[in-house]
Amino acid sequence: MELKIFIALFCALFTGGHSLKCYECSGPIGSCESKEKTCQDTETCSSATTLEFTGGTEVKNQIKGCTVMEKCINGSVNNGVIRKIISTQCCNTDLCNNKDAPVPSNSPNGKQCYYCDEKSCFNKLNCLGDEDYCFTGKATNGTVSQTVKGCASKSACDDISQQVKEHLTSLSCCQMNLCNGAKSVTQNLIFLLWPFFFYILIH
Higher pLDDT, 156 or 101: 101
Higher pLDDT, 186 or 66: 66
Q: Enumerate domains of the chain plus CATH numbers.
A: 108-193 (2.10.60.10)
The answer to whether 63 touches 50, Cβ cutoff 8 Å, is yes
The answer to whether 131 touches 76, Cβ cutoff 8 Å, is yes
Q: What's the rounded Cα separation, in Å, for the pair 199 and 190?
A: 22
- pLDDT value, residue 198: 44
The answer to whether 104 touches 76, Cβ cutoff 8 Å, is yes
What are the residues whose beta carbons fall under 8 Å from the beta carbon of 91, sequence distance 6 or more? 44, 45, 46, 97
User: Which percentage of the chain shows pLDDT scores above 90?
Assistant: 48
- pLDDT score of 24 more than 90: yes
- pLDDT value, residue 139: 76
Q: How confident is the model at residue 166 (pLDDT cuts 50, 70, 90)?
A: low
- pLDDT value, residue 116: 93
- pLDDT score of 98 more than 80: yes
Q: What is the pTM of this model?
A: 0.75
